[in-house]
Chains A and B, each alone.
Chain A
Amino acid sequence: MTTLDIYIDDKPLKVEPGKTILEVCRENDIDIPTMCHLDGLTDVGACRLCLVEIEGVNKLQSSCTTKVSANMVIHTQTERLKRYRRITTELFFAERNHICAVCVANGNCELQQLGYKVGMDHIRYPYLFPSCEVDTSHDYMVMDHNRCIMCTRCVRVCGEVEGAYNWDVMNRGFNVRIISDFNTPWGESGTCTSCGKCMHACPTGAIWPKSLSGEQLHKNPEMISELVKKRKMNL
């Protein structure tokens, strides 16, 4: 099989064509923070955390949506990238109303872990304090838009894996929100199958089961990746 020669952080690697930079990094234990990527779902490059530098390319590229090509020289841990990752993380927190202390996901939240990882000790940007709804209309799950980072993992898992297409994104910019059907309360959706995959895919406390209270939430996004693999196996 043909392989490509590439360099990541000065390390020479032989890789299969067709893979994304992120896939290659994960296989080689090179740590790149991500939020919108979830193994098994189509990558959309929404969160901009996985940016890398590629020599000869002016702009930073999202590693989840950029495929490797011959003789690429990639840097993943430069000072500039670290600075950007921290800025991006701070902007997530400033954009909505994330209050870890009162969140069911406290201690089990990918966003919170990201904050620790990039060394976020405070937020240098003004909080936007948008007014966000909490949709409690579903029988046993809650959608809290205050805690959503618009990664669209719920949207993709619902369409690509469950095939229900209950979720999508409405509006733009400051006003973007995840919606169910025609911006219908979740509990009145005609398409939701109540499978709970979005709850597991969601990296924050935005989607959570009603049966839980403080800090009990344990999500299992790997289950989604496993499910996608198993569905292809055709046993």
Chain B
Amino acid sequence: MKPGLLTTSAELSKTDPRVKLIAAKIKKENARPEALIEILHTAQNAYGYLPMNVLSYITHSLHLPPSRVYAAVTFYHFFSLKSKGEHTCLVCTGTACYVKGAQAILHELEKQFGIKAGHVTADQKLGIQVARCVGACGLAPVVVLDDVVEAKVNADQIIQEIRAKIS
């Protein structure tokens, strides 16, 4: 077997709440291969799409052939393999974040950058996504900028950070 293909969780940050969420889901399902779709749902809800290293991690944990996982992911339109845009801003809209004003933050971001959630700016610099829960409710409201989880955010601060990244 050639190295590097079946990457394990090594590439994923152990402290990322989204990784923990997926690991917990896999454990709950006893790593049954039949639970693939459920687990993919959890991952997609946490990331807004399915990054390749996350797919590798799931594939490895369930002992499934990579081709089978890729086939399932590309068969259902619900799943997406692409985070569109050079930088991504993922707004968690789970219950806790919602209560703490995630919707207002999202509106403000959409207004500032002129795109709706799920879309990318014309220059491909920024994509805004929503997740149903990234698993960090204690930090609500949460926004994930690229790979960094930002806790208890407010809209102005996030907008400033994004501007710094994309300018």
Contact = CB atoms under 8 A, between A and B. Distances in A.
Contact of B67 (A171, A172, A188, A191): A191
Nearest to B67: A168
Contacts of A164: 65
Nearest to A181: B66
A7 interface: no
Given A165-B65, A168-B65, A190-B66, A179 B6 contact: no
A168 B67 CA distance: 5
Contact of A183 (B6, B68, B70): B70
**How big is chain B's contact interface, by range?**
10 to 19
Nearest to A168: B67
Given A165-B65, A182-B52, A170 B70 contact: yes
A166 interface: yes
A167 interface: yes
B90 to A, nearest CB: 23
B70 A179 contact: yes
A183 B70 CA distance: 7
Interface residues of A, number: 20
B74 A184 contact: no
A180 interface: yes
A164 B66 CA distance: 11
Contact of A189 (B5, B55, B56, B74): B5
A169 interface: yes
Given A171-B74, A172-B75, A182-B52, A190 B68 contact: no
Contacts of B4: 190
A184 B59 CA distance: 15
Interface in A169-220: 169-172, 179-184, 188-191
Interface of A: 159, 164-172, 179-184, 188-191
20 contacts: A164-B65, A165-B65, A165-B68, A166-B65, A166-B67, A167-B67, A168-B71, A171-B75, A172-B74, A172-B75, A181-B65, A181-B70, A182-B52, A182-B56, A184-B5, A184-B66, A188-B2, A189-B2, A191-B1, A191-B5
Interface of B: 1-2, 4-6, 52, 55-56, 65-71, 74-75
